[in-house]
Amino acid sequence: MGNTDAVRAAAYSALGTAQITNDTSNRPSELVELTKLSTHVDSIALNSPTEATVLTTYKYKGRFNTDGGEKNGVLTIQRKSQFTKNGDVWSQNGSGEEVARSSSWSGAKQS
């Protein structure tokens, strides 16, 4: 397995672990109720033989607090994460840094 594939596997492993353990540390503060979370590794840059940068997109579907009140919709956040290779194992260093976000609201929350 090449380094890019190994980093991709480590990134998806980190994403899966966060979802399985219901890790809320990276969830957006405006999220009221999560109905679906999907993630995707967008790109991998090998900075050196032992360091990589990964861009990942998170799509949160649910109910959110907005300036216009609670709304249902999708909040998309792209994060940049750093990975380091120790021996043959790639692992993420800390949580990712938010680099972009967009939203799509479907209107007021239904009662």
Q: What pLDDT score was predicted for residue 111?
A: 47
Q: What pLDDT score was predicted for residue 17?
A: 76
Query: Each residue of 34-82: pLDDT tens digit?
Result: 899 899 999 999 999 999 999 999 999 999 999 888 999 999 999 999 9
CA proximity to 100, closest of 81, 82, 77:
77
The amino acid that residue 64 corresponds to is F
Q: Indicate yes or no: pTM above 0.85.
A: no
CA dihedral 61, 37, 33, 62 (to 10 degrees): 10
71, 88 contact by CB (below 8 A): no
| Class of domain 3-108 (CATH, top level) | alpha beta
Instruction: Output the CA–CA distances (angstroms, integers) from residue 6 to 2, 75, 106, 111, in the order listed.
Output: 6, 29, 38, 46
